[in-house]
Amino acid sequence: MSPSPTALFCLGLCLGRVPAQSGPLPKPSLQALPSSLVPLEKPVTLRCQGPPGVDLYRLEKLSSSRYQDQAVLFIPAMKRSLAGRYRCSYQNGSLWSLPSDQLELIATGVFAKPSLSAQPSPAVSSGGDVTLQCQTRYGFDQFALYKEGDPAPYKNPERWYRASFPIITVTAAHSGTYRCYSFSSRDPYLWSAPSDPLELVVTGSSVTPSRLPTEPPSSVAEFSEATAELTISFTNKVFTTETSRSITASPKESDSPAGPARQYYTKGNLVRICLGAVILILLAGFLAEDWHSRRKRLRHRGRAVQRPLPPLPPLPQTRKSHGGQDGGRPDVHSRGLCS
């Protein structure tokens, strides 16, 4: 039975239906090329990037009424008036996207450059501490430290005329070229010229805890005696160490890479099991002896309870009084006979 034209039409509508956009469109990205730190009279390009097929882009400068409906803004020469915050958005149909993250376009070279120094020295060993100090002769209250290769500078509001940027526990990643800027909080997008470059050199290399020693143990016998006291879980890690000569066998000597070591620990485990069994037997003997002695004492106590008591001594017999029974008074008749 062939399907009806109505069913085919409904099926085509279901398959060809495009789901409608629910909610706002995703926000685009905004970047400054080659950098957001632009010296005066130098060119810069602002580029707004959204999904393909965008109908309209809008790029605007905040805190002003200026905008343009283009994705790219080319500035041939940077001016003080062009410094500030920018953002962009796009339109598809009747829907507008969320605005992009704000981009701070900064004009540099407006004021004289500060000086940058490293305390105690620009050459620091790995794991040590160093402080970069930015100092100016003007009364600026804002400073920024910039490292070549980083996407953004490090801002640090400090006391007037100078700022300190401490770097704790220096690593190889901190080495590089640094510059600092000074500016005022009243004009946060007008910066001074960059300081002279400072090269921070990190000497030495940090040793990570996971690093294995490259030298084998000095004595195989000492290493074997030390490993005899380890637990089984730790010996499994020792089997995987390439530098453990005392417990690792070459493939030519044995098919199992840790055969001698496993035999050694198997014998040790057997000895421990035997010692444990002997201790259990001794404990069982002590318990049996204690139980037997307690039972013997209970039997003696039972016999002592069942033994008959000795006969009591006979009571002393009282002689029959010749007197009367009424309080021991003398018999009148008896007295008369004796008299």
CATH H-level superfamily of 112-203: Immunoglobulins (2.60.40.10)
Is residue 238's pLDDT more than 70? no
pLDDT of residue 218: 37
pLDDT of residue 333: 43
Percent of the chain with pLDDT over 90: 45
pLDDT of residue 298: 76
pLDDT of residue 205: 59
Q: Which fold has domain 29-107?
A: Immunoglobulin-like (2.60.40)
User: If you ran DSSP here, which 8-state letter would residue 276 be given?
Assistant: H
Is residue 250's pLDDT more than 50? no
CB of 260 closer than 8 Å to CB of 235: no
Amino acid present at 222: E
Q: Which of 218-227, 249-258, 326-335 has the highest mean pLDDT?
A: 326-335
Amino acid present at 37: L
Residue 154, both tokens: 């490090």
* Angular region, 63: left φ>0, alpha ψ -120 to 50, beta rest: left
Same topology between domain 29-107 and domain 112-203: yes
Burial class (CB in 10 A: 0-12, 13-18, 19+), 89: buried
Residue 317, both tokens: 């017999």
- For 76-110, the pLDDT digits (tens) are 999 999 999 999 999 999 999 999 999 999 999 99
62 vs 246, which has greater pLDDT? Answer: 62
Pick the range with the lowest mean pLDDT from 230-234, 263-267, 270-274: 230-234
Instruction: Mark 183-193 as b/e (b = at least 16 C-beta within 10 Å).
Output: beeeebbbbbb
| Residue 179: pLDDT band with limits 50, 70, 90 | very high
pLDDT of residue 304: 55
Pick the range with the lowest mean pLDDT from 54-58, 211-215, 316-320: 211-215
Torsion, CA 173, CA 179, CA 183, CA 189, rounded to 10: -70
| Residue 33: pLDDT band with limits 50, 70, 90 | very high
Across the chain, mean pLDDT equals 74
| Residue 303: pLDDT band with limits 50, 70, 90 | low
How many residues in total does the chain contain? 339
CB of 181 closer than 8 Å to CB of 143: yes
pLDDT of residue 286: 87
pLDDT of residue 310: 57
Query: How many CA within 13 A on the CB side of residue 51?
Result: 9
Strand order, beta sheet including 72-75:
29-33, 44-49, 72-75
User: If you ran DSSP here, which 8-state letter would residue 82 be given?
Assistant: G
Pick the range with the lowest mean pLDDT from 11-25, 30-44, 189-203: 11-25
Pick the range with the lowest mean pLDDT from 49-53, 132-136, 314-318: 314-318
Element (H, E) at 31: strand 29-33
Give the integer Cα–Cα distance in Å for 62 and 188: 14
Give the integer Cα–Cα distance in Å for 256 and 258: 5
111 vs 14, which has greater pLDDT? Answer: 111
Secondary structure (3-state) at 314: coil
Give the integer Cα–Cα distance in Å for 178 and 176: 7
pLDDT of residue 152: 79
pLDDT of residue 331: 45
Secondary structure (3-state) at 10: helix
Q: Cα–Cα–Cα angle for 113, 188, 152, nearest 5°?
A: 75
Is residue 228's pLDDT more than 60? no
- For 274-286, the pLDDT digits (tens) are 888 889 998 888 8
Report domain extents, the chain: 29-107, 112-203
| Residue 184: pLDDT band with limits 50, 70, 90 | very high
pLDDT of residue 126: 93
Give first-to-last CA distance, the chain, whole Å. Answer: 166
Q: What is the CA radius of gyration of the chain?
A: 52
pTM equals 0.54
